[in-house]
């Protein structure tokens, strides 16, 4: 059930947040340009382990427009199987809301999916377009998950828009591999998170709304975890 998920915040290193915020700002700018004034939220989650349990942690605040920032915060923890993010992690595929002929049809499916996943949200409180992109590490494990939601109807049914986002994600991977391999910023270091190979439960995704997007997921060549911190050397 949604209200039983652990959402207590756990501190996120400043270096980790700084490593994603410029990228997310660029993604948000691209998506907002086609949102026709509707609300958009963009954030990134990392996969982490605590006491032999795997979690998704929201790395930073949501970026975007038209939503109440006071209700969301960095550091929130969710079980790995939570929602569309959990499905993207487990399947290592990109997922988006499928195209609908009418908003009423979408809302009927959304209401049924909210009920099936035990969500306390109403249809009126929920976004209507969703996108989740997993980032796979050099060891084959999912490291990060980009999450976007929008109140614009059929926002992510635009293949060109989603593919542009995918190209941005691949560029983000190349940049982080460069930071990992060449260490051009001496005070920014990525530290390992060694616990791996946990088996998640069944994802609580919206099975009626979501479909996979046929594209290769972004992959890192060197990076195996996402735990950047500022150091003195």
pLDDT at position 202: 67
Strand 63-65 with 53-58, pairing: unpaired
Mean pLDDT of 15-40: 96
Contacts of 95 (CB under 8 A, 6+ apart): 84, 87, 88, 130, 131, 132, 205, 210, 211, 212, 213
How many Cβ atoms are within 10 Å of 211's Cβ, its own excluded?
15
Q: How sure is the predictor about 153, in pLDDT bands with cuts at 50, 70 and 90?
A: very high
Contacts of 214 (CB under 8 A, 6+ apart): none
pLDDT tens, position by position, 28-87: 999 999 999 999 999 999 998 776 677 889 999 999 988 877 666 788 888 887 888 888
Residue 7 predicted with pLDDT over 50: yes
pLDDT tens, position by position, 91-129: 999 999 999 999 999 999 999 999 998 888 899 989 999
User: Residue 53 belongs to what domain range?
Assistant: 2-230
Q: Identify the CATH number of the domain in which residue 138 sits.
A: 3.30.450.40
Contacts of 33 (CB under 8 A, 6+ apart): none
Nearest CA-CA partner of 6 in 85, 81, 86, 77: 77
Q: Strand, helix or coil at 185?
A: coil
Task: State how many domains the chain has.
Answer: 1
Q: Do residues 84 and 179 make contact, with C-beta atoms less than 8 angstroms apart?
A: no
pTM for the predicted model, two decimal places = 0.89
pLDDT at position 150: 97
State the chain's mean pLDDT as an integer.
88
pLDDT at position 165: 98
Q: How sure is the predictor about 178, in pLDDT bands with cuts at 50, 70 and 90?
A: very high
Q: Report the DSSP beta bridge partners of residue 78.
A: 56
Contacts of 200 (CB under 8 A, 6+ apart): 54, 79, 80, 81, 86, 89, 90
């Amino acid at each position: 059930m949604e209200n039983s998920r652990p959402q207590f915040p756990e501190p996120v290193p400043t270096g980790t947040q700084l490593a994603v915020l410029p990228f997310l700002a660029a993604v948000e700018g691209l998506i907002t340009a086609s949102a026709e004034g509707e609300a958009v939220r963009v954030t990134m989650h990392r996969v982490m382990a605590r006491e032999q349990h795997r979690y998704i942690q929201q790395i930073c605040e949501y970026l975007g427009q038209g939503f109440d920032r006071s209700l969301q915060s960095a550091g929130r923890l969710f079980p790995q199987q939570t929602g569309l993010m959990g499905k993207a992690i487990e399947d290592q595929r990109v997922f988006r809301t499928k195209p609908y002929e009418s908003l009423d049809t979408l809302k009927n499916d959304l209401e049924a999916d909210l009920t099936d996943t035990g969500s306390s949200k109403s249809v009126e409180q929920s976004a209507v377009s969703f996108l989740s992109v997993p980032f796979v590490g050099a060891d084959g494990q999912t490291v990060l998950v980009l999450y976007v939601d929008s109140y614009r109807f059929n926002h992510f049914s635009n293949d060109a828009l989603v593919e542009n986002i995918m190209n941005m994600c691949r560029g983000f991977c190349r940049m982080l591999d460069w930071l990992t391999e060449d260490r051009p910023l001496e005070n920014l270091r990525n530290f390992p998170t060694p616990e791996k190979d946990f088996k998640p439960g069944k994802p609580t995704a919206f099975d009626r709304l979501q479909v996979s997007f046929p594209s290769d997921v972004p992959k890192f060549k060197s990076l195996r975890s996402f735990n950047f911190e500022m150091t003195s050397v």
